Amino acid sequence: MTLAFDFHPEARAEFFASVNWYDDREFGVGTRFEGAVRKAIDSAVESPEAWAMWPGWDREPVVRSKGVSDFPYRVVYFVEGDLLRIVALAHAKRRPGYWRDRVTR
């Protein structure tokens, strides 16, 4: 099953801010980061249930995350009908769960 996807507005802002942050450090790294995030999203939309449920999440909808290869980030999402909703592009080692209030039905 392949789903469409959509970013929560704050997740979209995190995505662009992170791309810019990497681009400011070294030319081309932001582009590599963007490609890695897009690849993680593609994997999630093709097999949304293949990735781990968020630890300790105990309510509907089921929240999962897919790691971003070569970068310390996770795409945090849930499925709503035929849509994968991305609620955060979360750094794997900072502020776990800060995005919880973005998950709605």
Write the DSSP string, 37-74.
HHHHHHHHHHSGGGSPBPTT--SSSPEEEEEPTTSSEE
Question: What confidence category does residue 40 fall into, taking pLDDT thresholds of 50, 70 and 90?
Answer: very high
Print the domain residue range for 64.
4-93
With a pLDDT cut of 70, the percent of the chain lying above it is: 98
Residue 98 counted as domain residue: no
**Predicted confidence (pLDDT) at residue 14 exceeds the cutoff of 80:** yes
**Mean pLDDT on 2-29:** 94
Higher local confidence (pLDDT), 2 or 54: 54
Give the total number of structural domains in the chain. 1
pLDDT score at 43:
97
pLDDT at position 105 is: 60
How far, in Å, are 60, 69, 77, 94 from residue 33 at the CA level?
A: 30, 9, 18, 18
Mean pLDDT for the chain overall: 94
Residue 104 located in a structural domain: no
Question: What's the pLDDT tens digit per position in 55-90?
Answer: 889 899 999 999 999 999 999 999 999 999 999 999
CA distance 63 to 54: 6
Domain membership of residue 99 (yes or no) is no
- Give pLDDT, residue 1: 65
> Domain for residue 102, yes or no?
no
Any domain includes 8: yes
Indicate which CATH number applies to the domain containing 59.
3.30.2310.20
Residue 105 lies in a domain: no
Residue 28 lies in a domain: yes
Residue 84: inside a domain, yes or no?
A: yes
